[in-house]
Structure 1
């Protein structure tokens, strides 16, 4: 039991930071961090030491987040369908709110553009820049090569640079 608490103390902040980058929601990231470690405890026998513990935990965190999104999407879809079945008229702007912000500072703009990148570009960019994972570690998370991670990160940077340049015109 002491080993598990040491693992939590050593890696909880890193996992939480990774999840904050994925979710942009501190409260959700904290909740998912707890779920990640719960899942890790349940499957600790599957950790074979081939990758760093932090990489293994980030893989679990990523899958935990994806599972959360699937469940949230199902609940939202069911709620909208139930309301429609009951005859409630749902305007399209209530499902996807139109958020208009007149002025944004540079960091918020860049952060938003990062989150508009398609997967796996967004996640690889965040893994590399936010928690400073090596390309080898990123490749391990995706079950790909170090070279694949390096090339994908480079492409993510190009896509991000294009988006930022287009928005400044």
Structure 2
């Protein structure tokens, strides 16, 4: 592994893992995809031109790896994806009202179209700027901002 890539992994490995956790909700899958992300990044390191931050570049690679994983799973069975996305039922010890509200919100988020769901999660859990989100999707900062607010409105309307 190149010294640049080792440094990128030290600085961004955990954040990329957490980003993937927001997408897939499964630690094992997120870990596998994190490794795949850095493998792909290593293979394409010469193509990285520095137009975006290393983290947003890695998130773009991670997102593509996740979408590829989803396509593979869809070929096998759509039930696995449904379980991953919809398994937000409360545990028996989580019957408090605030926990119930949080779970309802997560279900509403996961019912959004994939792009809107990702943008909401990137903004809320990763605290990325609209510019960084736009870079991950290969779109403009304004596109990210508008898409975020539309998704937020859908969440508010679905209460």
Which interval holds the TM-score relative to the shorter structure? 0.7 to 0.9
Cα distance in 1, alignment partners of residues 103 and 29 from structure 2: 19
1:53 is matched with which residue?
A: 54
Q: CA deviation at 1:2?
A: 2.4
- Bigger Rg, which one: 1
- List 4+ stretches of structure 1 deviating above 2 A: 96-99, 101-104
Cα distance in 2, alignment partners of residues 73 and 122 from structure 1: 18
- Aligned residue for 2:107, secondary structure, equals helix
Cα distance in 2, alignment partners of residues 4 and 126 from structure 1: 26
Q: Show structure 1 runs of 5+ residues with no match.
A: 78-92
- TM-score (ref. length: structure 1): 0.79
Cα distance in 2, alignment partners of residues 73 and 156 from structure 1: 25
**What is the total number of aligned residue pairs between the two structures?**
149
- 1:153 aligned to 2:154? no
- TM-score (ref. length: structure 2): 0.84
Q: CA deviation at 1:3?
A: 2.1
Q: CA deviation at 1:75?
A: 2.6
Q: Show structure 2 runs of 5+ residues with no match.
A: none
Cα distance in 2, alignment partners of residues 46 and 75 from structure 1: 33
